[in-house]
């Protein structure tokens, strides 16, 4: 599949409609891993893309399904790579899970969490208590995240509580996390697959992308319509699907997990496929100058 021909044909075939949709964009929601950086490596076009958005008067925020870092961790990580961001511009699957529990299960206070210390700290800062790895310390619910500090005994404890029918929440469905290292980072979706194999149970709720709740805060806080938001990410089954379900513009960039071949076979079709943020930025420039 020729990527250049594919994207060119797509833009030509729907040029007028595409230009109109792009001119209507007032906010860009950006996935992080695989979209603005890969692991610890910032893509060379990211800073100039953000500058382009500011010049066009388009606001942006960072949405990530990766709950392993706290908001402060992410802000520090971005700053190290040369991106200054505010707390109001960051939203993670951990925060979305906290909001989901508060709104839909206010009775839940104690959690058994498979997650990094940073993730557990986010829940505790929000007022939740952490249950111990002890059969005598029964939690109200189990929360599974992208746990890069995973301990076998805690995995087994989580399986035990899930088998007993406790409320079971997953922060995100991602099978792997993008990285620039020679390793596969097993993500929350794969941990949940192991738990399903052990218990026969799936999560009662998967909160992160593609759940459109992840865009709900932007719509509400910034008084926007779905058609005014572009969701940009490197995954069809999370980023693009969420955009479709939320009625936003779904932009797939091929700088991360998804290959042109996977995109071609997918039943979920992005509204736009771009090689990377640089190409999408030029699309926005062209639309605004038209």
To 5 degrees, how large is the angle CA 283–CA 286–CA 290? 140
124 backbone dihedrals φ, ψ, rounded to 5°: -70, -35
Confirm whether 200 is domain-assigned: yes
Two tokens, residue 31: 């996935």
Question: Are 184 and 217 in a shared domain?
Answer: no
CA pair distance 167, 240, nearest whole angstrom:
28
Question: Are 126 and 196 in a shared domain?
Answer: yes
**CATH number, domain containing residue 127:** 3.40.50.1000
pLDDT at 220: 83
10-residue mean pLDDT profile of the chain (290 residues): values are 49 68 96 89 95 96 93 92 92 93 97 97 97 98 98 98 98 87 95 98 96 86 94 94 96 93 94 96 91
Domain-ending residue, one of 139, 172, 206? 206
pLDDT at 113: 98
Confirm whether 82 is domain-assigned: no
Question: Are 123 and 190 in a shared domain?
Answer: yes
CA pair distance 64, 181, nearest whole angstrom:
19
Which H or E element spans position 147?
A: none
Question: Are 225 and 168 in a shared domain?
Answer: no
Confirm whether 77 is domain-assigned: no
**Residue 211's closest CA among 89, 105, 95?**
95
pLDDT at 7: 52
Confirm whether 235 is domain-assigned: yes
Question: Are 175 and 279 in a shared domain?
Answer: no
* C-alpha distances in Å from residue 128, one per residue of 66, 117, 208, 259: 20, 14, 19, 40
Confirm whether 78 is domain-assigned: no
User: Is 202:196 a contact under the CB 8 Å cutoff?
Assistant: yes
Confirm whether 88 is domain-assigned: no
CA pair distance 277, 251, nearest whole angstrom:
10
Domain-ending residue, one of 160, 176, 206? 206
Question: Are 31 and 118 in a shared domain?
Answer: no
**Residue 222's closest CA among 87, 63, 61?**
61
Question: Are 216 and 202 in a shared domain?
Answer: no
Q: Coil, strand, or helix at residue 96?
A: helix
Question: Are 162 and 61 in a shared domain?
Answer: no
Domain-ending residue, one of 181, 206, 231? 206
Question: Are 197 and 228 in a shared domain?
Answer: no
CA pair distance 233, 28, nearest whole angstrom:
11
Which H or E element spans position 166?
A: none
CA pair distance 61, 89, nearest whole angstrom:
4
Confirm whether 130 is domain-assigned: yes
Quote the number of domains for the chain: 2
**What is the sign of the dihedral through the CA atoms of 157, 163, 169 and 175?**
positive
Question: Are 52 and 115 in a shared domain?
Answer: no
Q: Quote the domain boundaries for residue 147.
A: 94-206
Rounded to a whole number of angstroms, the distance between the first and last alpha carbons of the chain is: 30
Question: Are 61 and 142 in a shared domain?
Answer: no
pLDDT at 139: 98
Buried b (16+ CB within 10 A) or exposed e, 50-73: bebbeebebbbbbbbbbbbbbbeb
Cβ-in-10-Å burial (0-12, 13-18, 19+) of 267 comes to exposed
Residue with structure tokens 């992160």? 208
């Amino acid at each position: 599949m020729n990527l250049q021909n594919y994207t060119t044909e797509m833009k030509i075939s729907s040029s007028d409609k595409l230009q109109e949709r792009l001119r209507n964009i007032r906010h860009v929601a950006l996935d992080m891993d695989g979209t603005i950086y890969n692991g610890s490596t910032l893509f060379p076009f990211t800073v100039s893309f953000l500058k382009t958005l500011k010049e066009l008067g388009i606001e942006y925020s960072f949405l990530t399904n990766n709950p392993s870092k706290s908001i402060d961790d992410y802000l520090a990580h971005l700053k190290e790579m040369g991106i200054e961001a505010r707390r109001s511009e960051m939203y993670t699957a951990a925060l979305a899970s906290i909001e989901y529990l508060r709104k839909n299960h206010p009775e839940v206070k104690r959690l058994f969490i498979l997650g990094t210390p940073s993730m557990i700290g986010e829940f505790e800062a929000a007022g939740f208590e952490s249950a111990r790895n002890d059969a005598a310390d029964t939690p109200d619910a189990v929360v599974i995240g992208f746990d890069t500090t995973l301990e076998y005994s805690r995995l087994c404890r989580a399986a035990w509580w899930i088998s007993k029918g406790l409320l079971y929440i997953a922060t995100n469905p991602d099978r792997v996390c993008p990285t620039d290292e020679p390793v596969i980072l097993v993500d929350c979706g794969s941990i949940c697959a192991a738990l399903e194999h052990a218990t026969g149970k799936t999560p009662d709720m998967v909160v992160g992308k593609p759940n459109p709740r992840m865009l709900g805060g932007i719509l509400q806080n910034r008084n926007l319509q779905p058609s005014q938001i572009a969701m940009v990410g490197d995954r069809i089954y999370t980023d693009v699907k969420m955009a479709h379900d939320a009625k936003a513009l779904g932009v797939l960039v091929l700088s991360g997990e998804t290959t042109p071949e996977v995109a071609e076979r997918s039943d979920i079709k992005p509204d736009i496929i771009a090689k990377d943020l640089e190409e999408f930025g030029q699309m926005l420039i062209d639309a605004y100058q038209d």
